[in-house]
Amino acid sequence: MAQSYVINSRGEKELFSFKKAYDSARRVGASRVLAREIAETVKRKAFPGIKTSAIHEKIRKLLSKNVFNSALKFSLKSGMRRLGPTGFPFEKYIGEVLRESGFRVKINQLLPGFCISGYEIDFVAEKDKTVYVGECKYRNLAGDRVHSGDVLENYARFLDISRGPYFKSNKYRDFRLKTMMVTNTKFTGRSVNYSRCVGIELLGWRTPRDRGLEYLIEKEKVYPITVLPSLRGHLKDVFVSERMMLAKDVLNIDPRKLAKRFRVPAKPIESLVREARALLE
């Protein structure tokens, strides 16, 4: 594979990287020996023009054979995309992530601005005398990004809300008011630069560097339920309807009672419980 090209998630050519394959396995808990074995296997089986998504699937399968919970963690990015096809489950999930991180959160709020009477806001989060007016940008296509136009629109909306009556009440007298954008993918360089300039807090994949969304998820063990492979079809709707967005929520259910209530088979729910235990051990 020396000097051979692969096709990344944006359809662009890039050189195959042994280091990336090794690091991705190490990042989810594989030992140095296993990570090197996996990277060597991928290097041997890869071919010029292979898609990075196919490489990731090879790594996941090799992890699954050796360290099952690492394979589940490796599926985090694709699991986030499975929160779709609409953005609403992602908003609910982010609300749970922020609550687990100590925020007081309200999702799907209608807030008045100064110029426009009402804006639909994905979440309002409070912590340490700071209140965040938040927007979620969900992407279900690999390689998609949040662009500068998205952050410009968010900031214009935030400025109007900050001048409106909602945050003028005594309740928020001693609070700092900020805006936050959260995504399951990456921000473009222009969107990061603009956000840094005007003070928008960004939370996304590898953003902030070394403290991105994936870091927060792993640190707080707030993996989305969609990383569990047995969550298929109608089962996802069942758990979303019950406000169970986190893998650890599965540990608090009685599979047979839930199966009887929603008239679904108990076996896949029991598999979900086993997978959640393996992930969180």
What single string gives the DSSP state of each residue in 23-78?
HHHHHTT--HHHHHHHHHHHHHH--TT-BHHHHHHHHHHHHHHH-HHHHHHHTHHH
Q: Which residues contact 196 (CB under 8 A, 6 or more apart)?
A: none
CATH number given to 223-280: 1.10.150
For 88-217, CATH number out of 3.40.1350.10, 3.40.50.1820, 1.10.150.120, 3.30.1330.10 equals 3.40.1350.10
Q: Give the pLDDT confidence score for residue 40 in this predicted structure.
A: 96
> Against a cut of 0.85, is the pTM above it?
yes
For the beta carbon of residue 3, count every other beta carbon within 10 angstroms.
7
Q: Give the pLDDT confidence score for residue 176 in this predicted structure.
A: 96
Q: How far is residue 203's CA from residue 246's CA, in Å, rounded to a whole number?
A: 18
Sketch the domain layout of the chain as residue ranges: 5-66, 88-217, 223-280
pLDDT in tens, 117-144: 999 999 999 999 999 999 999 998 888 9
Sorting pLDDT into bands at 50, 70 and 90, what band is 1?
very low
Q: How far is residue 37's CA from residue 15's CA, in Å, rounded to a whole number?
A: 20
Question: Mean of the pLDDT values across residues 161-169?
Answer: 93
pLDDT in tens, 57-110: 999 999 999 999 999 999 999 999 888 766 678 999 999 999 999 999 999 999
255-262 and 266-280 helices, crossing angle to 10°: 140
CA-to-CA dists, residue 139 to 23, 35, 63, 181, 184, angstroms? 25, 29, 26, 13, 7
pLDDT in tens, 31-45: 999 999 999 999 999
Question: Mean of the pLDDT values across residues 10-28?
Answer: 93
216 touches 206 (CB < 8 A): no
Question: Mean of the pLDDT values across residues 241-252?
Answer: 90
